[in-house]
Chain A
Amino acid sequence: MSETRSSATPWLLAAPGAVLLLTLVVLPLLLTLVLSFQVYDAATGIKDGYTVTHYAAVLTDPYDLAVFWRTLRLAALTTLICVLIGAPEAYILQRMREPWRSVFLLVIIGPLLVSVVVRTFGWSMLLGPTGLVNEALQLLGLAKVRLLYTETAIVIALVHVMLPFMVIPVWTSLQKLDPMVEAAAWTLGASRFTALRRVVMPQVTMGLLSGSLVVFGLSASAFAIPGLLGGRRLKVAATLVYDEYMHELNWPMGAAIAILVLVANLAIMLAYHRAVEARARRTLG
């Protein structure tokens, strides 16, 4: 177990996992990239020869563009709501005393481990025409609202599933903040709001950014929630890909959309890392 042994050892140790990942990540992605350029005929299937028509079709078709636009809009809205709920909640959790802090942290992040299908099903019961939300509205003498199979339902369930991913990084960055620093700001005459804005906020910016990145990425590629709560009409990128593969059987078209989803995802991640580096350079001078 020392670094002085032959240089083949680390490669032998890492080889089984590396081979698995090359075979099941790199190779399939390359195959899918090729597939997305292959000619497809509705009668005979995938044919020899290459074309960019799938990408052209996806990027010009009004229906597909509407689906992409909806996907981005829902993901952005989910991210925004997660910031607005997750950041204060992490701050409140941080100020709680034990054992409450551990208990409620478990309550907030524990649902992460429950299958997304289960959680989505719970929301479809709550939001349905005879669900608890509508019954509560009726008790209050209000009219029923149609929630199931609307974008509202999708966003509600997405926020529920994504909130832990926002609370976790914000909470982590809050832990690095000495509570006495905030107290010092008060002693020096800062109002609670000013202390929050000038002392606490700069500390949690990185947590908010990385949380937003994760939430946006996962929301934009979410499948089960829009699939079950959006119904057949409200498609997003993920359910569109599923339809192309499983119902239309137009694999090259599905592959083109999947590649676009991947590229968008990677572009956002790259932009995020650029922003982090730029910020690090600024703070280090």
Chain B
Amino acid sequence: MQRNGAVALIFHAVVVTFMLAPLVVICLVAFTPANTLTLPTTQLSLRWFEAVFDHPDFVASFVNSLRLATIAATVSVVLALSAGLAIDRYQFPGRGALNALFLSPLMIPHLVLGVALLRLLALIGATGSFAWLTLCHIMVVMPYVLRLVLAALTGLDRSVEQAALTLGASPWTVFRRVTLPMILPGVTGGWLLAFINSFDELTMSIFITAPATVTLPVRMYMYATESIDPMMAAVSALMIALTAAAMLLLDRVFGLDKILVGQS
């Protein structure tokens, strides 16, 4: 194994600093006792974290985003599992087209999806509907889950399933007792990835949310375009903490590098 030279390591240090700088600054500024966006120099304060909870609209958006992401991730896992089984296990006319359809949300900019869905929702009178917003989020996150499910299904040893079938298990029992446990890491990883993607989604959501259904990223964007105070840093720090927790979980369950790298 060749080693990296000094120049390479300096380059690497600069890149790592660049990647971490904005996140570190947010976490530091969130603890400032001052009224402006300054780094805390003499003491740390939790006043801006308390300020977040005095903003009912932020709390409401957070709860809304949490609910939305949980439902969207769960439903998209169910849909992706059944679609994944169809694509992996069967040869049928239109299979390629179906696969392309399922992955199509990845090809279309979220901006375009946002305006297109706004048109649809306006025509059917569903703007501001939480149920339709949820359906849109399911559509957007499903390809991520499907890719992980397909990867898990492809790497599966089929002989175990055949053994269960031979021993008289029904197809449903085989799926529940044999297939599902074997692909569970992929499914769990898919759920978490879907949750994070739905929770963070801004560009599509900003077009299709109404005041009652505003998600946390949309609320933060709106707030940041008008005023910038340390409360934004506190909210951001909370989101970083949440993401870091999800990331550690994802790493434990499936291996983060496998999820983010292995699929490309």
- Is A285 an interface residue when CB atoms closer than 8 A count as contact? no
- Can you list 16 A-B contacts (CB < 8 A)? A7-B92, A14-B98, A17-B82, A21-B104, A35-B119, A85-B15, A116-B217, A121-B233, A122-B236, A125-B25, A132-B21, A132-B39, A217-B109, A242-B207, A251-B119, A255-B119
**Given A2-B165, A224-B202, are A21 and B119 neighbors across the interface (CB < 8 Å)?**
no
Whether B12 and A89, one on each chain, are in contact in the complex, defined by CB atoms closer than 8 angstroms, is: yes
Whether B221 and A14, one on each chain, are in contact in the complex, defined by CB atoms closer than 8 angstroms, is: no
Q: Which single member of B23, B117, B199 contacts A119 (CB below 8 Å)?
A: B23
Most chain B CB atoms below 10 A, which of A1, A132, A210: A1
Other than A10-B92, A89-B15, give 14 A-B pairs with Cβ distance below 8 A: A10-B89, A13-B83, A18-B83, A26-B101, A31-B120, A111-B19, A114-B23, A118-B220, A121-B22, A121-B228, A179-B2, A221-B111, A223-B111, A266-B107
Kindly count the residue-residue contacts between A and B in the assembled complex, taking CB atoms under 8 Å apart. 280
Q: Which single member of B110, B175, B236 contacts A1 (CB below 8 Å)?
A: B175
- Is A108 an interface residue when CB atoms closer than 8 A count as contact? yes
Whether B239 and A118, one on each chain, are in contact in the complex, defined by CB atoms closer than 8 angstroms, is: yes
- Is A212 an interface residue when CB atoms closer than 8 A count as contact? no
CA distance A107 to B202 in the complex (A): 23
Whether A115 and B136, one on each chain, are in contact in the complex, defined by CB atoms closer than 8 angstroms, is: no
Whether B221 and A224, one on each chain, are in contact in the complex, defined by CB atoms closer than 8 angstroms, is: yes
**Given A31-B116, A107-B19, are A227 and B233 neighbors across the interface (CB < 8 Å)?**
no
A-facing residues in B56-113 (Cβ within 8 Å) = 79-80, 82-83, 85-87, 89-92, 95, 98, 101-102, 104-105, 107-113
B→A interface (CB under 8 Å): 1-4, 8-9, 11-12, 15-16, 18-23, 25-26, 29, 36-39, 79-80, 82-83, 85-87, 89-92, 95, 98, 101-102, 104-105, 107-113, 115-120, 123, 135-136, 138-139, 142, 161-162, 165, 171, 174-175, 179, 196, 199-200, 202-203, 206-207, 217, 220-221, 224-225, 228, 232-233, 236, 239-240, 243, 246-247, 251, 256-257, 260-262, 264
Whether B79 and A121, one on each chain, are in contact in the complex, defined by CB atoms closer than 8 angstroms, is: no
Whether A104 and B16, one on each chain, are in contact in the complex, defined by CB atoms closer than 8 angstroms, is: yes
Whether A3 and B89, one on each chain, are in contact in the complex, defined by CB atoms closer than 8 angstroms, is: yes
CA distance A32 to B16 in the complex (A): 42
State the majority secondary structure of interface residues on A: helix
**Given A28-B119, A121-B224, A169-B264, are A17 and B111 neighbors across the interface (CB < 8 Å)?**
no
CA distance A1 to B246 in the complex (A): 33
Whether A245 and B207, one on each chain, are in contact in the complex, defined by CB atoms closer than 8 angstroms, is: yes
- Is A123 an interface residue when CB atoms closer than 8 A count as contact? yes
- Is A67 an interface residue when CB atoms closer than 8 A count as contact? no
- Is A66 an interface residue when CB atoms closer than 8 A count as contact? no
- Is A197 an interface residue when CB atoms closer than 8 A count as contact? no
Q: Which single member of A112, A124, A168, A227 contacts B228 (CB below 8 Å)?
A: A124
- Is A83 an interface residue when CB atoms closer than 8 A count as contact? no
Whether B11 and A88, one on each chain, are in contact in the complex, defined by CB atoms closer than 8 angstroms, is: yes
A→B interface (CB under 8 Å): 1-3, 5, 7, 9-11, 13-14, 16-18, 20-29, 31-32, 35, 85, 88-89, 92-93, 95-97, 102, 104-126, 128, 130-132, 160, 163-164, 168-169, 171-172, 179, 182-183, 210, 217-218, 220-221, 223-224, 227-228, 237-238, 241-242, 245, 251, 254-255, 258-259, 261-262, 265-266, 269
Whether B236 and A265, one on each chain, are in contact in the complex, defined by CB atoms closer than 8 angstroms, is: no
Q: How far is the CB of A123 from chain B (nearest CB, A)?
A: 5
Whether B16 and A108, one on each chain, are in contact in the complex, defined by CB atoms closer than 8 angstroms, is: yes
Contacts of B107 in A (CB 8 A): 265-266, 269
Contacts of A122 in B (CB 8 A): 21-23, 25-26, 236
Most chain A CB atoms below 10 A, which of B91, B120, B179: B120
Contacts of A183 in B (CB 8 A): 2
Contacts of A123 in B (CB 8 A): 22
Whether A27 and B120, one on each chain, are in contact in the complex, defined by CB atoms closer than 8 angstroms, is: yes
**Given A113-B196, A121-B220, A168-B264, are A14 and B23 neighbors across the interface (CB < 8 Å)?**
no
CA distance A92 to B29 in the complex (A): 32
Contacts of B98 in A (CB 8 A): 14, 18
Q: How far is the CB of A154 from chain B (nearest CB, A)?
A: 14
CA distance A2 to B163 in the complex (A): 12
Q: Which single member of B19, B105, B217 contacts A21 (CB below 8 Å)?
A: B105
Contacts of B111 in A (CB 8 A): 221, 223, 237-238, 241-242, 258, 261
Contacts of A218 in B (CB 8 A): 109
